[in-house]
Structure 1
Amino acid sequence: MAAPDYDAQVRDAFPELDRIEDDGLRDQVVEAWCLGLERGGWRDVADIPYAWNIHEVTNVEHVRGVTKIAIESAEIQREFHGADPDVDVIVAACLLHDVGKCYEYVDYVDDETLDEPDRERYASEEIPHSISGYALAHEVGVPLTVQRAIPHFLGEVPKRTLEAELVKSANSASSNAITQSAMGITLKEWVAKYSQTQE
């Protein structure tokens, strides 16, 4: 079987990459995804689920939703409040905020979606995806402004930037919509009910 063309998959899956003006940053986002997919052993970026127990929505759909919400929010902040959020940072961080699921969710999908995950060094649920996603971004050299906007749970970074807050709030908005439509519960209820299962 031929190796997957991760670069083409990622560029096709995330048309929002075109919103990043900096060519180098755009390529780094793609590179981080390609590394995660390869190490996780994924055959297709579209096979990664939104959550370990919600497979009706793909991670790609969620990441795209988060990115679109954050871009709209940034435009509103600029138009109504005179803020000046960095759109390149926002888009890159949104697109990378769940790249760590390439590592975390390999045990929760059918074997035919995977091809030799690197479980010795990468593919496991030991490190939460927001932290492993930060590590992937750091590894490929994305700017610190993007790196520090990737961890999206409270307490993971000591001080949030405007861009980081946009990523976090857009993630919550998307996640609440997904858990409500898939399970009829809020994200907070999902976390309370299932976070113990993951420990």
Structure 2
Amino acid sequence: MRATILEDLPEIAGIVNDELREKVIQAWALSLRDSSFARISDIPGEGAPNHFVLKAGSQELHLRGVARLAVNTVDEFRRTFPHVEVDRDIVLAGALCHDIGKCWECDPANLERWQARPDRTGYPSLRHSVYGAHICLAAGLPEAIAHIALGHSMEGQHIKLSTECMIVRWADNTWWYSAATMGLCHPDSLGAAGPMMTPRPLM
């Protein structure tokens, strides 16, 4: 499993801190172990079940794209304002783990169970952001990474966000809204995108 995690998320190698890099791998292994997915690239490419659904490609494309957008943001501001204080490793690790809870929320077995009896389980029982924070803490990742897993999504509207979390949150939004407006998502999955969204047809 370690090999496929590194194959699907090669940006993990860019994490400078050895312990943090290893914990990211362990966290993904833990999340995958308790799911129906064999590897990250098996997870559907969607923001949440039936929302912002990619026409082609799976979850690793989103994770990698968000990671690159987030660290490029850090690098841009460091070049322009060298005195700013931002933890690049936390941003990169957080971006690579921000959707780690989708192993739970997007799992077909869980979706079937929740849809059958939402009165008993809820639907979903836990959103990927909440489950992701749990996985991060269970794997021994820093609190700052668990905060990003929780705060990048709707739950982040109810808490104060760290600088690193805010960078990942906006990179995540930028990726999905850019994908949607460029016609990469199924139109019927864009109800949450708002009235300004006008997807461009793919050539």
Q: Secondary structure at the match of 1:57?
A: strand
User: Please, which moves more after superposition, 25-34 or 73-82?
Assistant: 73-82
Q: Report 1:25-40 matches (<5 A).
A: 25-40=20-35
> 2:114 matched to 1:89?
no
* CA deviation vs aligned residue, 1:117-141 (integer Å, no higher than 9, x gap): xxxxxxx832111111111001011
* CA deviation vs aligned residue, 1:66-101 (integer Å, no higher than 9, x gap): 000001000111112332211110011001001111
Give the alignment's TM-score, normalised by structure 2: 0.77
1:36 shift after superposition: 1.1
Aligned to 2:61: 61
* CA deviation vs aligned residue, 1:113-163 (integer Å, no higher than 9, x gap): xxxxxxxxxxx8321111111110010111112221222124436221111
5+ residue gaps in structure 1?
A: 1-5, 110-123, 194-199
Aligned to 1:196: none
Give the alignment's TM-score, normalised by structure 1: 0.78
Give the aligned CA root-mean-square deviation in angstroms.
2.6
> 2:108 matched to 1:107?
yes
Aligned to 2:131: 132
Aligned to 2:19: 24
Aligned AA (1:129):
H
Q: Secondary structure at the match of 1:149?
A: helix
Tell me if the contact between 1:99 and 1:133 (Cα under 8 Å) persists in the aligned partners.
yes
Moved over 4 A (4+): none
Tell me if the contact between 1:103 and 1:125 (Cα under 8 Å) persists in the aligned partners.
no
User: Please, which moves more after superposition, 176-185 or 25-34?
Assistant: 176-185
Q: Secondary structure at the match of 2:160?
A: coil
5+ residue gaps in structure 2?
A: 111-122, 196-203
Supply the distance in 1 between the matched residues of 2:45 and 2:81 (Cα, whole angstroms): 33
Supply the distance in 2 between the matched residues of 1:40 and 1:32 (Cα, whole angstroms): 13
Supply the distance in 1 between the matched residues of 2:43 and 2:148 (Cα, whole angstroms): 22
1:24 shift after superposition: 1.0
1:107 shift after superposition: 2.0
